[in-house]
Structure 1
């Protein structure tokens, strides 16, 4: 078997698996008569290890391997199990999703969760957008807005992650995320006093948060990096969406996708809102979104620390400081 893995610094968060482990996982998934020809580790992801696996006479697949349980933080625990659980709720966009071909949470072959998925057509959107005229980008963001709205229109049974813990009150879910994020940041050796202050503000604003009473399905991590688009031929079209491991139940404007779509404005990006619809401009909704921004910025800070992008930490603190000034 031809095997290629990415070079990473010693002690990096993402730990590659061996060629023998890949073969054993594929034998468990498909039987010994499926011969693995090659496995190539893919770049771009920041949490799971991802491989393109080729078989003799079969369609290629994607193997994803989660971090060891001991390396998972509070806000990122068992994400692959969460992604597996959310699949039935993603029915409105099922034509854009990879098919789960095999999944193993037993830890018998390797002490990590793993799944094998079908390979979707297209190229990552950041790569596809670069080779298209900027005038075509609005079509992409319009499609992204429509896809996001389809997901958000799905109603749920509780607030919080798909696999739990589930909360009956939105305020409990928000405070839990902020407190867990602060604890994860502190475990990583980072100052989390600003996130803890945001948790205290959320506590004082429980009644404001609990005006939200209907959980909706949130993508958790959907934006350009988790979209695939058609290559050069034909109109710019989203051919697939991936990585719903951070999906959760909450109000629509608390989603990562809304946070990202709101961060910058341009004629092309603003087409997102044409298909998605406008956000509420009521003062209560605007104030709640400030709290959600701290939730997302805290997760960004943790990811930057985990992936060694320490140059971005100062920006994270500045961003939260600006939000906290408005909240106070």
Structure 2
């Protein structure tokens, strides 16, 4: 087997597999006689460890995604791969854009970690190709993003919160629980989470405003440019969507995709040409401030995990601005 890895420090969050582990996974998925010709670790993601696997007797490569070890996962991010697997039937509206799940093993009996094998999507990662197109064509990309997001948000679910549960009858319960889990994780890293706890208290106090959201909708979790593949075409054309492991049930306005669509006054505003323009209300604006605190709390954790101390520090000022609009 040819093994190509990304060099990482011994204490890095993402940890690779040995040749023996990769072979064991492949044989668990495809049978004891399976031959692995090569395994190439892929970059781009910051959570799971991902490989392109070329198998003997199979023309098309496959993608192996391996979750972090259970004790390395934050409570607010536990079992994300299992959430993605459970989301597949609900993501039927965009099934033609997504990789197919070929095998999955959550027993942790083979390598002590959850893993999933998916089909290999053609195309080029959008971050590598989008910038090569003239800026006046970028609106086409974001209009497609709006269409994809709208089709996901159109799916109604059984409860608020994680796709795999525990579910909540009210949106306010799901938001408060999420903020408190993030707060606990931040404190577990030795960081101050008082601002996030204030936001959780504000969410509890504003439960009536949150509970105006009465229908749980499927949220993509973190869909944006980094999670898309582009086809070779005259204008940016999305041909694939990846890594839907942060899906949940909630208010579409709480989705990361909506946050990013509003982040700059540029070509991304074309997103709303196809998605539609949500009604602007005082209650909706208040909820968006709260959702932004949740996003910033999750970013604080990610930046800490990556050793980005300046980014962690910046998050406190950003949260303070949002809290000022909440309290």
Verify same fold: TM over 0.5: yes
Q: Would you say 1:71 and 2:52 are equivalent positions?
A: no
- Report if aligned partners of 2:133, 2:235 keep a CA contact under 8 Å in 1: no
Any stretches of 5+ residues in structure 1 without a counterpart? none
Give the structure 2 partner of residue 198 of structure 1: 199
- Report if aligned partners of 2:186, 2:192 keep a CA contact under 8 Å in 1: yes
Give the structure 1 partner of residue 310 of structure 2: 311
- Paired with 2:139 and 2:109, the residues of 1 have a C-alpha distance of 47
Give the structure 1 partner of residue 62 of structure 2: 61
Give the structure 1 partner of residue 261 of structure 2: 261
Local SS of the residue matching 2:27: helix
- Paired with 2:205 and 2:218, the residues of 1 have a C-alpha distance of 26
Q: Deviations over 1:48-70 (max 9, x none)?
A: 00001112342101100001111
Local SS of the residue matching 1:239: strand
- 1:2-41 to 2 correspondences below 5 Å: 2-41=2-41
Q: Deviations over 1:145-191 (max 9, x none)?
A: 00000000000000001001100011100000000000000101111
Give the structure 1 partner of residue 166 of structure 2: 165
- Report if aligned partners of 1:6, 1:41 keep a CA contact under 8 Å in 2: yes
Count of equivalent residues: 326
Local SS of the residue matching 2:307: coil
Local SS of the residue matching 1:102: strand
Give the structure 2 partner of residue 271 of structure 1: 270
Q: CA deviation at 1:280?
A: 2.2
- Paired with 1:235 and 1:263, the residues of 2 have a C-alpha distance of 23
Q: CA deviation at 1:128?
A: 1.1
- Paired with 1:4 and 1:229, the residues of 2 have a C-alpha distance of 25
- 1:276-295 to 2 correspondences below 5 Å: 276-295=275-294
Local SS of the residue matching 1:3: strand
- Paired with 1:43 and 1:149, the residues of 2 have a C-alpha distance of 28
Any stretches of 5+ residues in structure 2 without a counterpart? none
CA RMSD after TM alignment = 1.0
- Report if aligned partners of 1:61, 1:117 keep a CA contact under 8 Å in 2: yes
Q: CA deviation at 1:296?
A: 0.7
Q: CA deviation at 1:10?
A: 2.5
Give the structure 2 partner of residue 223 of structure 1: 224
Give the structure 2 partner of residue 49 of structure 1: 49
- Paired with 1:97 and 1:162, the residues of 2 have a C-alpha distance of 18
Local SS of the residue matching 1:263: coil
TM-score (norm 1): 0.97
Local SS of the residue matching 1:292: helix
- Paired with 1:123 and 1:190, the residues of 2 have a C-alpha distance of 38
- Paired with 2:308 and 2:112, the residues of 1 have a C-alpha distance of 27
- Paired with 1:56 and 1:17, the residues of 2 have a C-alpha distance of 19
- 1:93-112 to 2 correspondences below 5 Å: 93-112=94-113
Q: CA deviation at 1:106?
A: 1.0
Local SS of the residue matching 1:217: strand
Give the structure 2 partner of residue 214 of structure 1: 215
Q: CA deviation at 1:108?
A: 1.1
Q: CA deviation at 1:15?
A: 1.1
- Paired with 1:312 and 1:35, the residues of 2 have a C-alpha distance of 44
Q: Deviations over 1:281-309 (max 9, x none)?
A: 11011101111111111001100101212
- Report if aligned partners of 2:125, 2:226 keep a CA contact under 8 Å in 1: yes
Give the structure 1 partner of residue 235 of structure 2: 235
